[in-house]
Amino acid sequence: MPNKKKEKGGGVSRRSFLKGMGSGIASTAALSTGGLLSKEAAAAFLAPDAERINDFQTIQLKINGTMQSVRVEPRTTLLSALRDKLDLTGSKEVCDRGQCGACTVLADGKPVLSCMTLALDARGKEIVTVEGLADGEKLSAVQQAFVEQDALMCGFCTPGFVVSATALLQDNPNPNAEEIKLGLSGNICRCGTYPNVFGAVQEAAKNMRKGR
Ligand code: FES
Ligand code: FES
């Protein structure tokens, strides 16, 4: 009976752990009646706001130059609206918590993380996704350079890098290596294609300066 022996010896058994958890919950409940919050206020704070959660509404978003109607909840992220409602799956959901940059889109020309942006807050802004960078079948200079410089492996990070690089080159058409690294510092590539990505941005910058 190894478990019994461990409990007697003062180790942490599953039973004592669960007992500890129970007392932790009890103390949290006590806090709600101990002067910080009344029991009713604590219950109201913790209860889901059903009215708000179910408050679907149809909003208009300008995506890649076209006004689109989309039905969202207050909690719907721009990334979810793009991918799940508008079938624009170029922006990738990788971390879904603002850490990898794979979901980057442009909002009024500035790079934003669409997983951290509410769809409601995108109203009135010009949203451009990676799909909106190409001119029909013609890739943008940045997209073309990523292809030519072989700047992707699995490709999950690539849309975010392409959008961030586009924003960088709009602000700074002739960035040096340090400025490129800084401009793309919000994007993570787990496959480690950084040298090719940085090379692609330099190549795109060169071509854009030549008007290609
Ligand atoms: S998916 Fe948005 S930052 Fe990672
Ligand atoms: S190419 Fe795979 S994560 Fe960047």
- CATH 3.10.20.30 positions along the chain are 51-132
Q: Is 102 in the pocket of ligand 2 (CB under 6 A)?
A: no
27: helix, strand or coil: helix
- Ranges of beta strands (E only) in the chain are 57-63, 66-72, 104-107, 110-113, 126-128
| pLDDT tens profile 114-129 | 999 999 999 999 999 9
Identify the CATH class of 141-209: mainly alpha
Q: Which CATH code, of 3.90.180.10, 3.30.360.10, 3.10.20.30, 3.90.1170.50, is assigned to 51-132?
A: 3.10.20.30
β 104-107/126-128 pair status:
antiparallel
Question: Using CA atoms, how far apart are residues 183 and 171, in angstroms rounded to an integer?
Answer: 10
Measured from the CB, is residue 154 less than 6 Å from ligand 2?
Answer: yes
> What pTM did the predictor assign?
0.76
Pocket test of ligand 2: the residue of 193, 194, 196, 197 to mutate, having most ligand atoms within 8 Å of its CB, is: 193
pLDDT digits (tens, 9 = 90+) for 12-47: 454 444 444 444 443 443 344 445 667 777 676 666
Kindly state the helix (H) or strand (E) to which residue 99 belongs, with its residue range.
none
